[in-house]
Homo-oligomer: A and B are copies of this chain.
Amino acid sequence: MKLPLLAALLAALPTLAQTPKPVENLVQYAHPIVGTQRMGHTFPGATVPFGMVQLSPDTDTISYELNGKYNPKVYEYCAGYQYEDKTIVGFSHTHFSGTGHSDLGDFLIMPTTGPLQLNPGTADKPQSGFRSAFSHQNEVAEPAYYRVKLDDHNILAELTATNRVGLHQYTFPKADDAHIILDLTAGIYNYPDKNVWTFVRVENDSLVTGYRQTHGWARTRTEYFALQFSKPFRQYGARNYAKKQAYRGFWGRFDQAHNFPEQAGEQLRLYFDFKTEAGEKIKLKMALSGVSTEGALRNLRAELPGWNFEQTKRQGQAQWQQELSKVTIQSPKRVDKDNFYTALYHAFLSPTTYQDVDGQYRGLDQNIHRAEGFTNYTTFSLWDTYRALHPLFNVLQPQRNADMIQSMLAHYQQSAEHMLPVWSHHANENWCMIGYHSVPVLADAIIKGNAPFDANKALDACVTTARQQWYDGLGDYLRLGYVPEDKSGSSVSKTLEYAYDDWCIAQAAKKLGRPDIEQEFSKRALNWQNMYDQRIGFMRPRLSDGSFRKEFDVLSTHNQGFIEGNAWNYSLYVPQDPAALIAKMGGNARFTEHLDSLFTMHLPDKFFAETEDITRDGIIGNYVHGNEPAHHAAYLYNWTDQPWKTQARVRMILPKMYRPTPDGLGGNDDCGQMSAWYIFSALGFYPVAPGSPEYALGSPAIHGATLRLSTGNTFRITVKNQSDKNVYVKEARLNGQKLTRPFLNHQDIMNGGELVFVMAGKL
């Protein structure tokens, strides 16, 4: 019997390794407040990893339109919160992290005292409404915990959350007129008439259910809630601010504004009244569901049957500790840990859980489905996240990444267009940005052996998606080998990204032994060449007749055939074959010159003004780190004879673009893509072309790291002679073997082992 016992012990070892006892509280280094100032578009509130609920303060709810025109200020409020604001309008339960358009902000709750005010008031006169002044001195934002003092009402607000339930704890002063407002008119990116319908039922003296249906970035979205109060309200009421109120005839027979338990309309605000003693805590549990109020109630009862705020917070932070401890880093500098774990925190916010505890979720067809054998996720900002976030998940969150892919395949199954998601959230496709970048996510997982799903069906979905002739210039792309600018704007970006996506399909087909598909898409993958204008050395838009467009500015991003990037940046976008690009661009020297100039040139202000989504800090020369198209660019030196420049650039970008301060992000975090770039780069490698098993080596910014993989293996990164100045990698050794090329294979990480960087200050 000894041998089996030993075998069992050995078998248990990986499991033990999988749940290590962390020596350090890593939650302390993750700062939700980072990125809340200016363009980061992150939110400071409470959420658990990949949670359905993001319970967070909104400092304003700005309408998308002002006097019938686009209101540019709406853009600042993509996550509901701007650090420089002085007032809070309330706490809502759903927020995107780092997006460049937005939505959500469901179910705004605000506790107040004094005479009932049902309008939010203005930021300059907070006392004109229910909003309150606050101060950052009285504010704490931690993973799964947020606290703020609401000065105008003398109420301490604390928030925490489980996956599907937000828990509020409000400490009131003594008050005969304490109120809790439930504002269903509020929302993020509030288009005129964004609210399609809202519906509320007061089920009893402490339970309220309902839903909010919106027409915004998600065209047809419904979010359901169940809201439980820890104390029965004394009375309640509602006001409907909508003009649309059909047939009032018999409804007017009796008072439906006060203590009437059923409300419906476009613009509802409700209030619930209490008497409170000094220091009395009233708690609220708000459970969400995409399915029904019944589903929300089920989620509430399953996830948070009790009222223990401290315990809920503790459990939420324990979840964060578990996720963050997948990587432990060494560094003598606090700022490195703050940056790293804040980035990891932001990377583990989305995609978000989108199913009830019983597995039911609302599908793209608006029917209710049940996720069988996977957890259904939503919030797929794929144009951003295919680059580094999903590759990061293939290392640190392989099971979740596979579930996300199953969710994307379910989307495909439910899609009337027979398309994988482009940018999808909450049972909707919002068609945001270009390409079909589900494809690299699926291909990357297949190539990297993280495909506990039907890989051939996934490939079929990729192929079907990539053959939709009606889609965004794709018909012309198939006929002509490029998207003609006179038919479809941003044509160069589209062509380049299609070509890369096509290459991904070819790689997956190759791996799965489907040569017909491999051949078809390998050929398509070369289409990037059709965009290159040899005469000027840049990618350049072409017209249907085959000619390059005459009017052309290589620095402008405005109507030049590109999107979120100019020709200077996008001309580098052939991640699937940098070597061929280098050859095309005239070889090492000319290519390196172009690449250098990207980081060093002076970009005139007028071009900056055109650049979307980023602050001035988000640009280095003409390199726009705040947008994604050049995220791989710094690593391209690895394909030249000057890989040391990659190392220098990366170490320059890292501290410039990531600081553990409210304004510490140089652009939208884009659902974690910016943060994933930080994590990979800080660790010393980066996935230039997801769909390839190779990472390009850069220059690690930390002193060492341990990756605890779900296989039970451990991958250790050791950095010798690390310092701010020692940015060059003199030598890299994998498991003792010196690396002769500045590349690392995915399997080498997943197998466990050690990567040693030996740093130097000079070449």
Contacts and interface: CB of A to CB of B under 8 A. Distances in A.
A217 B416 contact: no
A433 interface: yes
Given A417-B262, A470-B260, A365 B201 contact: yes
Contact of A250 (B192, B265, B365, B431): B431
A417 B261 contact: yes
Interface in A444-494: 470-473, 488-489
B194 A246 contact: yes
- Copies of this chain held together in the complex: 2
A191 B246 contact: yes
A173 to B, nearest CB: 32
Contact of A244 (B215, B264, B473): B215
A361 to B, nearest CB: 14
B416 A101 contact: no
Contacts of A64: 246
Nearest to A475: B254
A309 interface: no
A113 to B, nearest CB: 28
Interface string A230-263: 0000000000000010110111011100011110
Contacts of A472: 253-254
A216 B250 CA distance: 12
B260 A220 contact: no
Interface string A68-85: 000000000000000000
A661 interface: no
A293 B365 contact: yes
Contacts of A431: 250-251, 253
A416 B213 CA distance: 20
A468 to B, nearest CB: 9
A476 to B, nearest CB: 11
B250 A433 contact: yes
A335 to B, nearest CB: 38
A9 interface: no
Contacts of A473: 254
A17 interface: no
Contacts of A213: 196-197
A367 B293 contact: yes
Given A246-B215, A249-B432, A254-B470, A220 B264 contact: yes
A738 interface: no
B470 A262 contact: no
B292 A366 contact: yes
Nearest to A216: B246
A516 interface: no
A177 interface: no
A93 B158 CA distance: 52
A202 interface: yes
A623 interface: no
Given A255-B470, A262-B416, A470-B259, A247 B430 contact: yes
A219 interface: yes
Contact of A430 (B189, B199, B250, B294): B250
A591 interface: no
Contacts of A249: 101, 432
Contacts of A434: 253
A690 to B, nearest CB: 22
Contacts of A358: none
A365 to B, nearest CB: 6
A199 B366 CA distance: 9
Nearest to A363: B294
Given A191-B247, A211-B366, A366-B292, A261 B416 contact: yes
A194 to B, nearest CB: 6
A189 B216 CA distance: 28
A101 B219 contact: no
A193 interface: yes
Given A203-B416, A253-B488, A292 B433 contact: no
Interface string A194-225: 10110101110000010101011101100000
A197 B196 contact: yes
Contact of A292 (B191, B244, B251, B367): B367
A76 to B, nearest CB: 17
Contacts of A417: 260-262
Interface in A255-302: 255, 259-262, 264-265, 292-294
Contacts of A432: 249-250
A609 interface: no
A13 interface: no
A583 interface: no
A114 to B, nearest CB: 27
A368 interface: yes
A746 to B, nearest CB: 32
Pick the most buried of A247, A429, A489: most chain B CB atoms within 10 A of its CB: A247
Contact of A471 (B101, B196, B254, B489): B254
Nearest to A489: B253
B197 A197 contact: yes
A427 to B, nearest CB: 11
Nearest to A432: B250
Contacts of A247: 101, 189, 191, 216-217, 430
Given A244-B193, A249-B101, A488-B253, A366 B293 contact: yes
A432 B217 CA distance: 38
A69 to B, nearest CB: 15
A149 to B, nearest CB: 35
Nearest to A297: B367
Contacts of A246: 64, 191, 193-194, 215-217, 219
A504 B245 CA distance: 36
A193 B267 CA distance: 14
Pick the most buried of A192, A211, A417: most chain B CB atoms within 10 A of its CB: A417
The 6 closest A-B pairs by CB, nearest first: A191-B246, A261-B416, A250-B431, A201-B416, A294-B367, A262-B416
30 contacts: A189-B247, A191-B247, A192-B244, A194-B246, A196-B196, A197-B197, A197-B215, A199-B220, A199-B366, A201-B365, A203-B416, A209-B365, A211-B366, A215-B246, A215-B264, A216-B247, A217-B246, A219-B246, A249-B432, A250-B423, A250-B431, A251-B431, A253-B472, A254-B488, A261-B416, A262-B429, A292-B366, A292-B367, A294-B365, A294-B368
Given A196-B196, A254-B470, 19 more contacts: A191-B246, A191-B247, A194-B246, A197-B220, A199-B366, A203-B416, A215-B244, A215-B264, A217-B246, A219-B246, A250-B431, A251-B431, A253-B431, A253-B434, A254-B471, A259-B470, A292-B367, A294-B365, A294-B368
